[in-house]
Amino acid sequence: MIGINESFSKYSGLKVGTIIVVSQIIGGVLAGMGGAIECLGRYTTFRWIDLPGYGWTGVTVAILAKNNPIMVPFAALFIAYLNRGCELMSIYAGVPSEMIDIIQAIIFLFFAAEQFLSKYHQRLVVKEAKEEISKKAKSQMKGENA
């Protein structure tokens, strides 16, 4: 309810800030437990060398999905496909295994540039609309004066 209409939640007497913080803590604890199970449960010991870089992959998936939960599985499958393809290219073609990191960085940069440029484009459209309105107002004023 809070994510849909925060002001209604406040009006109904819910402590919005507290609920948001508690839900973030619960999500962080669950994610941490999942990561601990993945790293420690699978291999019984933790080695710094074996960190798979899931955080960077998760950020890339979230950016690709544009924080849309419905698109997350598709973005995750796309990144998994890229990871597997890079592994196979590394084995069979001698391509460096770090190529997937470069591809993810390029995806990250393109989507970040899109966000930046969309804000710039919006400002440009608003500016052009204001100029067009002022031109129409001036032409109407000239028409009335004549």
pLDDT per residue as tens digits for the range 13-71: 888 888 889 999 999 999 889 888 877 777 677 666 666 677 788 888 888 888 788 99
Alpha-carbon 12 to chain mean position: 31
Residue at token pair 């393809």: 85
> Using N-to-C axis directions, what is the helix angle for 99-145 and 72-93, rounded to 10°?
140
- pLDDT given for residue 115 in this prediction: 79
- pLDDT given for residue 141 in this prediction: 79
pLDDT in tens, 74-127: 999 998 998 888 888 888 988 888 888 888 889 888 888 887 888 888 888 888
- pLDDT given for residue 117 in this prediction: 86
> Helices marked H in 16-98 — which ranges?
16-36, 42-43, 54-65, 72-93
